[in-house]
């Protein structure tokens, strides 16, 4: 959960999000090195007198032609690796289907016979003390911790987007089309997200809450809900 005046990302709760945070830090360090070098060169040019070395220098031209290519490679390789990791779905332990509606989410646990429910935002007037306004729902998505989970996302009316920042997941929900992604929660907890596609007047009133629990608790929850 994000805090007030927070500048960085939320604490990562999945391997993919950990990789994204590391790549963000890597890209910032590259940008910092570039800015430092440019500022140094500007200061050098302002303080020193112009000479033939600054007017005509093939070595410098060669360096500033090759150096940007090296920088792009340093950014492209880890970026492509993360993209392939995000698209890889290998033998999930649980499959979950999320259907976006105006303005709530429907969930189906396809590995169970009769396990589905709708998830609505809790109105502010009915919100229990200590809960988060505009983020709490009446039915949370419960998933087992440290288990690969595949989520299939679609919509029943207009475009939506199923996004949970701390899990590094954001998948568009398109009517008539099935998109899929996967995640693994590395710790127990409650993770909040929201629809990230403008879908109408109440776009900001369809939050997402994912609860990660140990496998034994998930089995008890699923048995109770299915009965």
> Which residues, in sequence order, are bridge partners of residue 136?
none
- Sign of the CA dihedral running 154, 160, 165, 169: positive
- Residue 50 has a pLDDT of 61
Dist. CA 169–CA 92, nearest whole Å: 16
φ, ψ (nearest 5 deg) of residue 115: -140, 95
Distance between CA atoms of residues 48 and 57, nearest Å: 16
Is the predicted pLDDT of residue 23 greater than 90, yes or no?
yes
DSSP E strand stretches across the chain: 94-101, 104-109, 116-119, 141-144, 149-155, 160-164, 169-173, 179-183, 189-195, 207-213
Among 123, 5, 2, 25, which residue's Cα sits nearest to residue 78? 25
**Is the separation of the CB atoms in 144 and 218 below 8 Å?**
yes
> 132-181 pLDDT, tens per residue?
899 999 999 999 999 999 999 999 999 999 999 999 999 999 999 999 99
Rounded Cα–Cα distance for residues 38 and 60 (Å): 13
pLDDT interval class at 52 (50, 70, 90): low
What secondary structure does DSSP assign to 164-226, as a single string? EGGGTEEEEE-BT--EEEEE---S-EEEEEEE-S--STTGGG-EEEEEEE-HHHHHHHHHHHH
Helix (H, G, I), strand (E, B) or coil at 112: coil
Query: Is 202 a residue whose pLDDT tops 90?
Result: no
β-strand pairing of 179-183 with 104-109? unpaired
pTM above threshold 0.75: yes
- Give the Cα separation of 161 and 198 in Å (integer): 9
pLDDT for 1 equals 64
Structural domains in the chain, CATH included, are 13-85 (1.10.287.90), 92-223 (2.60.40.420)
């Amino acid at each position: 959960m994000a805090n007030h005046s927070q500048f960085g990302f939320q604490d990562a709760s999945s391997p993919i999000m950990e990789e994204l945070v590391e790549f963000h830090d890597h890209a910032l360090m590259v940008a910092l090195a570039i800015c430092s070098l440019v500022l140094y060169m500007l200061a050098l040019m302002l303080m020193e007198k112009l000479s033939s070395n600054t007017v005509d220098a093939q070595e410098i031209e060669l360096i500033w032609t090759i150096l940007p290519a090296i920088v792009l490679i340093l950014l492209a390789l880890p970026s492509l690796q993360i993209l392939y990791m995000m698209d890889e779905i290998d033998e999930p332990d649980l499959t979950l289907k999320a259907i976006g509606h105006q303005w709530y989410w429907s969930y189906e646990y396809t590995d169970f016979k009769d396990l589905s429910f709708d998830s609505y935002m809790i109105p502010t007037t009915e919100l229990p003390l200590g809960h988060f306004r505009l983020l709490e729902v009446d039915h949370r998505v419960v998933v087992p911790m440290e288990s690969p989970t595949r989520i299939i996302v679609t919509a029943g009316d207009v475009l939506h987007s199923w996004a949970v920042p701390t899990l590094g997941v954001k998948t568009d929900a398109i009517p008539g089309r099935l998109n899929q992604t996967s995640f693994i929660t590395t710790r127990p907890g409650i993770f909040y997200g929201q629809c990230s596609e403008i879908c109408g007047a109440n776009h900001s009133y369809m939050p997402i809450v994912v609860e990660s629990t140990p496998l034994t608790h998930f089995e008890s929850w699923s048995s109770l809900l299915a009965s």
